[in-house]
A and B are shown apart, each in its own frame.
Chain A
Amino acid sequence: MSKKECVAMLLAGGQGSRLGVLTKDVAKPAVSFGGKYRIIDFALSNCANSGIKTVGVLTQYRPYLLHSYLGTGGAWNLDESDGGVSILPPYATQSGGAWYAGTADAVTQNIGFIEQNDPEYVLILSGDQLYRMDYQEMLANHKRHEADLTVAVMPVPWEEASRFGIITQDADARIVKFTEKPNKPDSNLASMGIYIFDAKLLVDTLKADAVDQSSEHDFGNDIIPKLLADGKRLYTHEFNGFWRDVGTISSYHETSMDLLGSHPAFDLFDAGAPIMSNASTRPPAYVGPHGEIDDCLVGNGARIFGKAVHSIISTDACIGERAIVEASVLLPGACVKDGAHVVRAILGEHSTVEEDVVLGSVDQTRDTAVIGNNVVVGKGEE
């Protein structure tokens, strides 16, 4: 391995338990999104588009689909002989083995990977966030500030601030205070969970953290407060674009809807920084003689004979004659049979809504309907 300037460690082991049936069989980063993508595509594409060519992907929960999807990393131009994508699952040593017990612990257990690549900087990323970012800009800020750690931040609505790690900075963007999920936030500048560390400092800090009995081995809870207390140079990198952590069914649904409209909040059509994916090759979407489609994203292989409004119709999904799909997300291979009516619903991969079944409700106060992968919803089961 030659020396690298910056390697990325992509945390992709999370279960995403609040996504319910969508993560029953697959890790959250492998959940389908946006018609043809999986959530991890966004972070991997950002790496590729930012020229970060060495990416360690830390996996743990339900990894089969994620691992096969990552393959050699070629889909994201990350199949380089000296670097590229490396899959990093928990492993055993002479003294035993352990599951990843926190974000920092996952990286600690892979210090060997960092040392093998010998970078100057380590970029820590989450595999479950949707955004487009040029990490080189963040790295340039990190160098300019001669920082030990740079945290990507963005302003969030005040009422949501207590969900995040909240940062107070001085006029030079140096972090003066960091509070994980404060009850009474005194700033609305939230950490996005994207960090650039000086590599040597990261390794030393993680080694110390590993033997700290009181630590939960979490970047937000433990590592950042520790470095701040030690008087290290912590700076922010402010981001003002679209960024979502789709933690729940309702945020998954909402974020999907953000892709729609004539001026979408998040535009997948951006040739300058394409979101790449390891998509299967399917023929172009077919719209039948009576198909009606209004404000939808439609993936290849989809077949639409009925009506689809303000929805995402993913690869190989189908909508039968007289069927209506509104404000919904059909994941790859989902099928809404003839005469069925689906409103505000998420249909899992290869799930089926049988003929004339009515699913979901326009009532915004009711939960978004969710059907798991491969589930069939028959008449009377809705």
Chain B
Amino acid sequence: MEKILGIITANYSTKYPSVLSEVRPVASLPFLGRYRVVDFALSNMVNCGIRTVGMIMPYNYRSLIDHVGSGRDWDLNRKKGGLFILPGSAFGTSRTGSRFLLRDLAHNKVYMQRGSSDLCIITTASFVYNMDYRDLVAAHRASGADITVLTKKASGKDVDVCGFAVEDGRVTGVKHGVKFGDTAFLDCFVVDRKLLLQMLEWYAQTDYLDLFEALAPDYGRVKVQTYDYEGYAAAIFDKDAYFRANMDLLDPKISAELFPEGRAVRTKAHDNAPAKFEAGSHVSNSRISGSARILGSVTNSILGRGVTVETGASVSNSIVMQGCVIETGARVEYAIVDRNNVVPAHTELRGTPDALFIKDKAEA
């Protein structure tokens, strides 16, 4: 693989403030019990050989820095290259819906000017998928495009996903929101490094725009090609999408796509014991993380690291994050329970499929 510079714009905040995203950027939302959403972007980068990755940080970066550390768990603790923590503009892309704010990229020209890579792969940390970016790069080389955007045919309506108007694989326009069959943007693209630096000059006066909005008058001049990704991909833009994406991983077929042999999704290593299923526990169609201890009942749910479900407690159709204790006789249903909560004995946290109950993060 040729040398490629990676950039992850990890400063995206969802437009829909919920207690889950108030305390953290989407990038560091816990996912599937033991991961965080940013793990997918980071793993996709390093699994195709990229060893220089800059992360543009959100203002509330504590959880993200805590997670990525020196980058060791992604082999990004390099003597040369490795993980670069980059600044973002004051409030980043908070609630504007922008992914690749020109201002954020322009702030980090120095990072892009260094090094000898021809290409940059730039991605957000708000999608969950596992792909080999070498396919994207090969398509980019083959078409001779200036920019190749990673796309997927939309399987339904989504007002938060960006869509492209496309003719013969070439982008002619950009819009907010997609409907079934549209070309949906997976918020990832490959671009010639020098062209990227030039574009930052072209659009310096409108640096409050997203790169692809700024490009709108120039799609005839700048050749932006699409590359359709066929595998599983989920956008994490609101709590329902977040919930659905977690639950998707109870399907063994989707699991096999997201966690294929030989292309591991890497995450921060923890020294958790294996999960303990005690005598009398009942677990069905669920994912259980390390150090969880189950005495009660768990159905159609995702349990994070170190969660305890006591005798007579039941969890169904829910996401219970790291460190929670569901006490005896308590009942959790259609809920997302953020980290370190204790659900007291014989109480209920109940939502419905249409209105999930969200319990915010508790003090450790």
> Which residues from chain A sit less than 8 Å from chain B, CB to CB?
34-36, 74-75, 262, 268-269, 274-277, 279-300, 303, 308, 312-314
Contacts and interface: CB of A to CB of B under 8 A. Distances in A.
Nearest to B290: A300
Interface stretch (B96-104, B206-214, B276-284, B336-344): B276-284
Interface in B242-299: 249-250, 252, 255, 258-259, 264-267, 269, 271, 273-291, 293
Nearest to B34: A284
B267 A281 contact: yes
Contacts of B278: 262, 295
5 contacts: A268-B274, A286-B252, A288-B285, A298-B276, A299-B274
A291 B290 CA distance: 18
Nearest to B250: A286
A287 B72 CA distance: 31
Interface string B61-89: 00000000000110000000000000000
Contacts, number: 111
B303 interface: yes
Contacts of B293: 269
A289 B293 CA distance: 19
A275 B290 CA distance: 13
B33 interface: yes
A284 B280 contact: no
B302 interface: yes
A289 B284 contact: yes
A378 to B, nearest CB: 23
Contacts of A303: 252
Given A289-B284, A293-B281, A274 B264 contact: no
B interface majority secondary structure: loop
A297 B271 CA distance: 15
A292 B286 CA distance: 12
A277 B269 CA distance: 9
Given A74-B72, A286-B252, A303-B252, A297 B273 contact: yes
B283 A287 contact: yes
B32 interface: yes
B50 to A, nearest CB: 18
Contacts of B73: 281
Nearest to B284: A289
Contact of B289 (A269, A293, A294, A300): A300
A269 B273 contact: yes
A290 B282 CA distance: 10
B275 A297 contact: yes
A interface majority secondary structure: loop
B271 A284 contact: no
Given A281-B73, A281-B264, A289-B285, A296 B277 contact: yes
Contacts of A295: 277-279
B297 to A, nearest CB: 12
Contacts of A269: 273, 276, 291, 293
Nearest to A277: B271
A286 B287 CA distance: 5
A66 to B, nearest CB: 19
Contact of A279 (B250, B269, B276, B286): B269
Contacts of B286: 286-287
Contact of B32 (A274, A284, A297, A312): A284
Contact of A291 (B252, B266, B283, B302): B283
* A-B complex: 8 closest residue pairs judged by Cβ atoms: A35-B274, A268-B273, A284-B289, A293-B277, A274-B271, A284-B33, A297-B274, A284-B287
Contact of B273 (A262, A275, A283): A275
Given A274-B271, A298-B275, A283 B287 contact: yes
Contact of A280 (B33, B264, B284, B285): B264
Contact of A275 (B35, B264, B271): B271
B277 A294 contact: yes
B260 to A, nearest CB: 11
Interface string B12-42: 0000000000000000000011110000000
Contacts of A297: 273-277
B32 A283 contact: yes
Contact of A293 (B252, B283, B285): B283
A299 B249 CA distance: 17
B269 A75 contact: yes
Residue from B255, B273, B289 whose CB has the most chain A CB atoms within 10 Å: B273
A282 B252 CA distance: 14
Contacts of A275: 271, 273
A312 B282 CA distance: 17
Given A35-B274, A268-B274, 7 more contacts: A281-B269, A283-B33, A285-B275, A287-B284, A291-B283, A294-B280, A297-B274
Contacts of B33: 283-284
Nearest to B39: A281
A269 B303 CA distance: 17
Nearest to A276: B271
B265 to A, nearest CB: 7
